[in-house]
Amino acid sequence: MDTLQLEIVTPDRLLLRESVEEVQVPAKGGYLGVLPGHAPLITELQIGEISYRQGKATRFLAATGGYCEVLPDRVIILAEKAEKAEEIDTTRAQSSKDRAEKRLGELQNPDIDFSRAAVSLQRAIVRIQVSGKRGS
Amino acid sequence: MPNILDIRRRIRSVKNTQQITKAMKMVSAAKLRRAQERVMSARPYAQKILAVLNSLVTRSEGQTHPLLEDRGNERIQLVVITADKGLCGAFNSNIVKAALNFVGENRNRQLTLNCVGRKGRDLFRRGPLPIAHEAVNIFARLDYSHARQIAGTLMEEFANREMDAVYLVYNEFKSVIQQRIVVEQLLPIQKLAKSEEGSLIDYIYEQSPGEIFGSLIPKHVEVQVYRALLESAAAEHGARMTAMDAATNNAIELIDSLTLTMNRARQAGITKEIIEIVSGAAALE
């Protein structure tokens, strides 16, 4: 079985470097699945979940924006922020979701930056989703 | 003759100082290790961004971006990265000296300052140059969002043509006992090197290369700022460690010499007393 070398780097650290069989990334234009031997590709990422498969096990990560470079034998993800499913603090994600929802609810308040609140809501939702998939 | 009691008091006070400097040295050593790790772990991201940018430059010939525009060096913003705290030897004063040098060389240009770190801010606030921005107390909990914020303001003002160039002055971490002062140009971004090897791969672009290029450039600037901040933080801890080590050694030396003086004084006192007794006894005979 062919494998891909998956590397996920954030500004803080090299998060992951592993041999995997399949990767899914949240590209700007929708989710993108990558198998070994994929044509070289560069794309921007949006907020979403990254998943990769090793044998039968599939693992998930929450990622916020960044870039993805695909080569036939390698996938390099430059994420602004990325967390493994088991690292996510679910209560914090839940509270930031609640906060963002509350902000979006106050339509008449001019002090609130709606696009920012919407982004943080989206991020929180993804993190909650991903944290529910740990170890599956 | 020095008073024995005074010398004792003095020794005790030096001992206390020595304990403090010793503790600070240990703390700095621990922090230095962490800071060094962060510098290392930030490296792959920076390298990868640069690699992708370079391969894009090769492909999208003649790509322009507001942050690449060279308008000469008439109005310069100088970003001075110092520490928030002192007690780290010549760390801050070296940076300030380098910054003043830079100011001297560009006397006939319009300069503004952007002070990162309390020490530099406090000093330049008293000087004649206008401080456009400042960021103090960030080094205790430094993370990427600080870099994003600093870089964001710089890029915005640069794109709005409020200044023509941005330079960074910071301490680069070379080794524990050595820092190197770096003055480098941040904006406009220097010509990106065309990579030979990258040009061989023919990428598919989901977005147009221009679009990716346009959003990667700001990332690159952020990373540059982030790296400078991390380097400076590591260098600061290194400098503090060396300074505190020297201070501890000086304290030991001082205690030794004070102990010697004290013993001499004690000895002299005893001798004097004996002479008094002997001469007193001699007078009776």
Mutate to test the interface with A, among B146, B206, B215 (most CBs of A within 10 A): B206
B204 touches chain A (CB under 8 A): yes
Whose tokens are 């001499």? That residue is: B264
Per the CB < 8 A criterion, the answer to whether A48 and A26 are in contact is yes
Residue where the block lists tokens 């147009």: B208
Out of A13, A32, A67, whose CB is closest to B52? A67
Q: Which residue of B has its CA nearest to A78?
A: B45
**pLDDT score for B248:** 96
Residues of A with CB below 8 A from B211's CB? 44
Same-domain pairing of A11 and A70: yes
| CA neighbor of B71 nearest in space, from B101, B109, B115 | B109
Superfamily of domain B26-192+201-242: ATP synthase, F1 complex, gamma subunit (3.40.1380.10)
CATH number of the structural domain spanning residue A119: 1.20.5.440
Evaluate if residue B159 carries a pLDDT over 80: yes
Q: What is the pLDDT of residue B45?
A: 86
Q: Do residues A123 and A57 both lie within one domain?
A: no
CATH assignment at residue A8: 2.60.15.10
Residue pair A83/A62 in contact (Cβ under 8 Å)? The answer is yes
Contact between A125 and A97 (Cβ < 8 Å): yes
Q: Say yes or no: A46 and A10 in one domain.
A: yes
A46 and A30, same domain (yes or no):
yes
Domain count, chain A: 2
For residue B78, the model assigns a pLDDT of: 93
Would A126 be classed as within a structural domain? yes
Residue in the block written with tokens 């924006």:
A65
Q: Where are the domains of chain B?
A: 4-20+243-274, 26-192+201-242
Same domain for A75 and A99, yes or no, is no
Preceding omega of B218 cis (within 30 degrees of 0): no
Tell me the per-residue pLDDT of A63-117, one tens digit each, with 9 for 90 and over.
888 888 888 888 989 888 888 888 888 888 888 888 888 888 777 677 767 777 8
The structure tokens listed for B221 are 């600037």
Which pLDDT score is estimated for B198?
47
Q: Output B56 or B142, whichever has higher pLDDT.
A: B142
Instruction: Check CB contact under 8 Å for B206 and A9.
Output: no
On whether both A26 and A47 belong to a single domain, the answer is yes
Contacts of A30 in chain B (CB under 8 A): none
Top-level class of domain B4-20+243-274: mainly alpha
Q: What tokens does A39 get?
A: 């044509």
Both A108 and A59 in one domain: the answer is: no
Q: Can B88 be counted among the known catalytic residues?
A: yes
Q: Is residue A64 part of a domain?
A: yes
Q: Are residues A44 and A103 in the same domain?
A: no
Q: At a CB cut-off of 8 Å and minimum separation 6, what does B118 contact?
A: B82, B83, B84, B85, B136, B137
- What would the pLDDT profile of A7-34 be if each residue is shown by its tens digit? 998 888 788 899 999 999 998 888 999 9
Domain shared by A113 and A57, yes or no: no
Enumerate residues 6+ apart whose C-beta is below 8 A from B32.
B176, B234, B237, B238, B241
The ipTM of this complex is 0.74
Q: Are residues A76 and A96 in the same domain?
A: no
Range of the domain at A51: 4-85
pLDDT, tens digit (0-9, with 9 covering 90-100), for B45-101 = 888 888 778 777 776 666 678 888 888 888 999 999 999 998 888 899 999 999 999
Which residue would you say has higher pLDDT here, B51 or B38? B38
Examine the domain organization and report whether A31 and A98 are in the same domain.
Answer: no
Confirm whether A42 is domain-assigned.
Answer: yes
Cα A26 from Cα A133, distance rounded (Å) = 16
Residue A136 lies in a domain: no
Residues in chain B closer than 8 A to A11 (CB atoms): 42, 45, 144, 147, 222-223, 226
Query: For residue A60, how many other CB atoms are within 10 A of its CB?
Result: 24
Are residues A17 and A70 located together in one domain of the fold?
yes
**pLDDT for B17 beyond 80:** yes
